[in-house]
Structure 1
Amino acid sequence: MNKQDLRVLKTKNSLQQALLELLKTIPLEKIKVTEICKAANINRGTFYLHYGTVEDVFHDFFQEVIRDLQSSYDEPYKNTIPFEISKINPNSIQIFHHIKRHQSFYEIVFSKNTNKSYYYMLFDQIRLNMERDYQSDQIPDVPMDYIIGYQANAIIGLIIVWYEHGFKETPEEMSKKLHHILKISR
Structure 2
Amino acid sequence: MADMTDPGKRTDRRIVRSRTALRQALLTLMADKPFTTISITEIVELADYNRGTFYSNYESKEALLDEIIADLIDKLLLSFRVPYEKEEFFRVDQLRAHSVKLFEHIYEHAAVYTVFLKSDMLMALREKMFTAIKTILKEELVYTAKTDIDEELLRIYSIHALLGLVFHWVESGYKHSPAYMQEQLVKIINYHPTTAKTSIKR
Q: TM-score when scaled to structure 2?
A: 0.80
Q: Which residue, out of 61, 64, 68, partners 1:57?
A: 64
Kindly indicate whether residue 75 of structure 2 is the aligned counterpart of residue 68 of structure 1. Answer: yes
**Pair 137,80 (structure 1): closer, same or farther in 2 beyond 3 Å:** closer
Q: How much identity, in percent, do the aligned residues show?
A: 26
* Structure 1 residue 115, shift from structure 2 partner: 5.1
Larger Rg: 2
Say which structure is richer in helix. 1
Corresponding residue of 1:23: 30
Q: Mind listing any 5+ residue stretches in structure 2 that lack a counterpart?
A: 1-7, 194-202
Q: Distance in 2 between matches of 1:160 and 1:66?
A: 15
Corresponding residue of 1:124: 131
Q: Distance in 2 between matches of 1:173 and 1:163?
A: 14
Kindly indicate whether residue 185 of structure 2 is the aligned counterpart of residue 184 of structure 1. Answer: no
Do the aligned residues in 1 keep the contact of 2:31 with 2:119 (CA within 8 Å)?
A: no
Corresponding residue of 2:196: none
Corresponding residue of 1:39: 46
CA deviations on 1:106-159 (whole Å, 9 max, x unpaired) are 223333755523222222222222222443456733322211111001111111
Q: Distance in 2 between matches of 1:133 and 1:35?
A: 42
* Structure 1 residue 169, shift from structure 2 partner: 2.1
Q: Distance in 2 between matches of 1:17 and 1:185?
A: 44
CA deviations on 1:73-132 (whole Å, 9 max, x unpaired) are 111002443100233332221111111122223223333755523222222222222222
Q: Distance in 2 between matches of 1:185 and 1:3?
A: 57
Q: How many corresponding residue pairs?
A: 186
SS in 2 for 1:16: helix
Q: Distance in 2 between matches of 1:97 and 1:139?
A: 33
Q: Mind listing any 5+ residue stretches in structure 1 that lack a counterpart?
A: none
CA-based RMSD of the aligned residues comes to 2.4
**Which amino acid counterpart does residue 95 of structure 1 have in structure 2?**
L
SS in 2 for 1:78: coil
